Amino acid sequence: MSNPSILILPGDGIGPEVMAQVTRIIDWFGEKRDLKFDVETDLVGGAAYDKHGVPLADETMARALEVDAVLLGAVGGPKYDDLDFSVKPERGLLRLRKEMDLFSNLRPAQCFDALADFSSLKKEVVSGLDIMIVRELTSGVYFGEPRGIHKEGNERVGINTQRYTESEIARVARSAFELARKRNNKVCSMEKANVMESGILWRDVVTEIHEAEYPDVELSHMYADNGAMQLVRAPKQFDVIVTDNLFGDVLSDCAAMLTGSLGMLPSASLGAPAENGRPKALYEPVHGSAPDITGQGKANPIACILSFAMALRYSFDQGDEATRLEKAVEKVLADGVRTADLMGPEGGTPVSTTEMGDVILAAL
């Protein structure tokens, strides 16, 4: 039997720097834990545009559909700001999400004990925080048609369409309920059913799936504006939050920032399980390409490393090995090892991107 396969797409900005540390960790699992992967690397985003004139080559797309998991670094940067909409770096990422049908985007917002002081929120509000945002990722206003800019009389008009079908809502709802069962058994669904019909359908379908298939899970509904408020006021009231693509984009970033350590947060984007039981999957850090610190050895590789831990858990059924990796990261943080972004008033041992990789490997 061949090894499970991974396609690595480092992308732009700090993407390649943080991904280099992940590669070392993948190698470690091969050597020390006999968990071998077939790894290949390719281009996405601005890096792909520079070579191919498109932010994702067709061959790369084809490989992404064949491998067992994709690991992505980050896309975008000021160099590409003036590109036409259709070839912007982001379109590469959006094409992967859409064609791999990765409808369920898991974004944990977890506050690491060693970093609780780091949040702009009071320690008691965020310490021990552990929420999971499940964001619908392949539909809604990101992909709805009609869209574009056209002329009416002598005015430009910009249009996008928020569109959700029943089955699109149902499948992401199921994925949230399944996750909740493995956590604290609570789901809060967020929309604007008070002003949007697509929000009414969202609320209705989530409620129907709940009643028919997951009556044991506690379900609540909240308007998305109130959701943003409650995340800031008392985030620990939540366990799993399920919401649409656009609200999920904004609310998950808000939740991520609560933890005070954006450089720490991984994400998994999952499709439906394939014949081999493995869902199509893409793992990426929540942070962006950080052009301001690119190439300086300052980037924090932990979010990208924890994204690989999520891959171990969700794609390769290696929950114990994922926990091993997560524990190594926790230990290093508890020991006071800090990349620049984690350097707070209480100090710590400053390290570069590569040095952070070193100590995590040592902790493993």
Residue 237 lies near its own copies (rule: CB under 8 A): no
Residue 271 binds its own copies (CB under 8 A): no
119: Cβ–Cβ under 8 A, 6 or more apart, which residues? 111, 125, 126, 258, 259, 260, 261
Q: Active site includes 42?
A: no
Give the pairing of strands 349-350 and 130-136. unpaired
**From candidates 35, 54, 200, 361, binder to its own copies by CB under 8 A:** 200
Using rule CB under 6 A, residue 244 touches ligand IPM:
no
- What's the DSSP call for residue 139? S
249 binds ligand IPM, rule: CB under 6 A: yes
Q: How wide is the angle at C-alpha 26 spanned by C-alphas 24 and 30, nearest 5°? A: 110
354 binds, among ligand IPM, its own copies, none (CB under 5 to 8 A by kind): none
* Residue placing its CB nearer to its own copies in the complex, 16 or 199: 199
As a whole number of angstroms, the distance between CA 48 and CA 56 comes to: 6
Please identify, among the stretches 20-28, 229-237, 293-301, 302-310, the one whose residues bind its own copies according to the rule CB under 8 A: 229-237
Q: Which of residues 45-104 bind ligand IPM (CB under 6 A)?
A: 90, 93-94
**Is the separation of the CB atoms in 290 and 310 below 8 Å?**
no
Site for its own copies in 102-141 (CB under 8 A): 120-122, 125, 141
Which of its own copies, ligand IPM, none does residue 149 bind (CB under 5 to 8 Å by kind)?
its own copies
Give CA–CA dist 262/169, Å, rounded.
Answer: 28
Sheet holding 38-41, edge to edge: 38-41, 5-11, 69-74, 279-285, 266-273, 104-110, 130-136, 240-243, 186-191, 218-223
Q: How far is the CB of 137 from ligand IPM (least distance, A)?
A: 8
Smallest gap from Cβ 333 to its own copies, in A, equals 20
From candidates 4, 13, 199, 285, binder to its own copies by CB under 8 A: 199
* Shortest CB 341 distance to its own copies, Å: 12
Annotated binding-site residues read 77-90, 97, 107, 135, 225, 249, 253, 288-300
Give whichever of 196 and 361 is closer to its own copies, judged by the CB atom: 196
| 96 counts as binding its own copies under rule CB under 8 A | no
Q: Annotated binding residues for substrate, as ranges?
A: 97, 107, 135, 225
Per the residue annotation, which of 42, 192, 244, 280 is the catalytic one?
Answer: 192
**89 is written with which tokens?**
């770096």
The angle subtended at Cα 14 by Cα 291 and Cα 362, nearest 5°, is 145
Question: CA nearest 67: which of 297, 271, 300?
Answer: 271
Nearest to 14 by CA among 282, 259, 266, 285: 285
Residues 7/42, Cβ–Cβ less than 8 Å: yes
* Footprint on residues 168-207 left by ligand IPM (CB under 6 A): 194-195
Q: Which is nearer to its own copies, 25 or 219 (CB)?
A: 219
Binding residues for Mg(2+): 225, 249, 253
- The distance of closest approach from Cβ of residue 8 to ligand IPM in the complex, given in angstroms and rounded to an integer, is 18
The residue to which tokens 């904004």 are assigned: 250
Contact predicate 244/234, CB 8 Å: no
Bond prior to 146 in cis (omega within 30° of 0): yes
Task: Tell me the C-alpha to C-alpha distance, in Å, between residue 61 and each of 19, 90, 91, 139, 320.
Answer: 19, 14, 12, 19, 31
Taking CB under 6 A as the criterion, which residues in 220-239 touch ligand IPM? 225
Return the amino acid letter for 119: S
The one-letter amino acid at 50: D
Active site residue 27: no
Any contact of residue 141 with ligand IPM (CB under 6 A)? no
Q: Which residues bind ligand IPM (CB under 6 A)?
A: 90, 93-94, 194-195, 225, 249
Q: Which residues are catalytic?
A: 142, 192, 225, 249, 253
Q: Which residues bind its own copies (CB under 8 A)?
A: 76, 85, 88, 90, 94, 120-122, 125, 141-142, 144, 147-149, 152, 155-167, 192, 194-202, 205, 224-229, 231-234, 246-247, 249-254, 256-258, 262
